[in-house]
Homo-oligomer: A and B are copies of this chain.
């Protein structure tokens, strides 16, 4: 499959995929005889994973490390697992941020409503 299809499936843009490849985040994208990229299902699965990791705040350096481990094969699985577990911690932190922000907003909106009530 070619880049546009890989983009729609993974959620990343074609530009971002190329950028990720250049930055070493995507191991082993082959090229066809036409020099165009060909994406295997594993490639697309990998990109989809990157999509979610990035979207939830994993920095590129960490994704680079992750890709490096991936290239090293099955022996790196324990370390890959710890990396993902650390990301789960980040998810929890982000959820706490969202909750905190919800509270702040609820308070603000309530005071706005009160002011509106006072004015009318």
Contact = CB atoms under 8 A, between A and B. Distances in A.
A112 interface: yes
A55 B101 contact: yes
Interface size band for A? 20 to 34
Contact of A98 (B49, B91, B101, B104): B91
A100 interface: yes
Interface in A49-105: 49, 52-53, 55-56, 74, 77-78, 80-81, 84-85, 87-88, 91, 94-95, 97-98, 100-102, 104-105
A101 B105 contact: no
Contacts of A95: 95, 98
A113 B81 CA distance: 8
Interface of A: 48-49, 52-53, 55-56, 74, 77-78, 80-81, 84-85, 87-88, 91, 94-95, 97-98, 100-102, 104-105, 108-109, 112-113, 115-116, 119
